[in-house]
Amino acid sequence: MNRWAWAEVSVGAIEHNARVLAGLVAPAQLWAVVKANGYGHGALCAARGALAGGASGLCVALVQEGVELREGGIDAPVLVLSEQPADALRGAVQHGLEVTVYSTAAIDALAAAGAHDHPVHLKIDTGMHRVGVAPGDAVAVADAIAASPAVRLTGAFTHLAVADEPTDPFTQEQLHRFDAVVGLLADAGHHPRVLHAANSAGAIAHPAARYGAVRPGIAVYGLLPGHGVAAQVAALGLRPALSLYARVSHVKRVGAGERISYGLRHTFARGATVATVPVGYADGVARRSFAAGASVLIGGRPRPVVGVVTMDQLMVDCGDDAVAVGDPVVLIGRQGEHELTADHWADLLGTIGYEIVCGISSRVERITVP
């Protein structure tokens, strides 16, 4: 180990979660999203666990992410979820990555990259307004796909904006718009083999969104897609796959009235033993964690973070308890009777669990465990 801070990623937990989700959505296929280095868990680790759990395919955001999977020995279908720069498409063709298109320019770029009968998925913008072809233009792009020997229409899909808020009627409106476009495509003679719309929350809370395949991301890693689906997620028994650990690197005693860290923003009301933990905001622990009331686990108990988190270190108030250099620290995971989760950190910091795990930097070694 190169430093006293590391993450452990359970392939078994990812496999378990994929198996649960695959069973839930069957007969729809499960295509696990492993973009952004497997949501911070490690792309190859995530891919192997998801495929072992029954995933039929994988999804990434970038061509280079798909190439990494191929070079790591993954031969399952891989879909790149948005149009890519023309210069990247030769890699997609060479490595057999399925490609998303929503413009005729993307079709032309694939042809220029040497594609022949290459599988593409047509993305339809049903209201999220991020990327995708407008519903009224979908048939024209499908016609261009059919006319080009470079590509063939394998799938059609959309993305749900508020699936994690099950009472919001906009999800049903999006599915209605998607169904209408699929009908127009069929009338024009286009019949993509697979339709897909559901992200994690869509797959769990909206059975009508499952179609022929689903694309869960965060749920594969055992984290919450949103509080609106918390009950459904809890009932599934998904397991968080990542734990974040460290060891105490320094211990000191400070007196009442002493202040600590940059800006000296915390004043000790009493004498305390302070443990320094060698992780900081360069590792993904937010600088504002102290102000948000964050704690870590040392000695089986929550210990408050004191003072501003620095780039490489944070400090913890351990009261009058005995603490020694090398003692284990838990930032995400369980110690004794207590557990800290990525979702817990997200609630403290006013964000989502996705950002917490994706934000754990490459400086933190990932260790794969069963």
For the annotated catalytic residues, the residue numbers are: 35, 262
Can you spell out the DSSP letters for 171-212?
Answer: HHHHHHHHHHHHHHHHHTT---SEEEEE-HHHHHH-GGG-TT
| Residues linked to residue 2 through DSSP beta bridges, in sequence order | none
Contact between 215 and 31 under an 8 Å Cβ cutoff? The reply is: yes
Return d(Cα 73, Cα 68) in angstroms, integer.
9
Amino acid in the structure at residue 353 = G
Please count the CA atoms within 13 angstroms of the CA of 51 that sit on its side-chain side. 17
Name the 3-class secondary structure at 342: helix
CB contact set of 137 (below 8 Å; sequence gap of 6+): none
Buried b (16+ CB within 10 A) or exposed e, 186-225: eeeebebebbbbbbbbbbbbbeebbbbbbbbbbbbbbbbb
CB count in 10 Å sphere of residue 176: 11
| Residue pointed to by tokens 């915390």 | 266
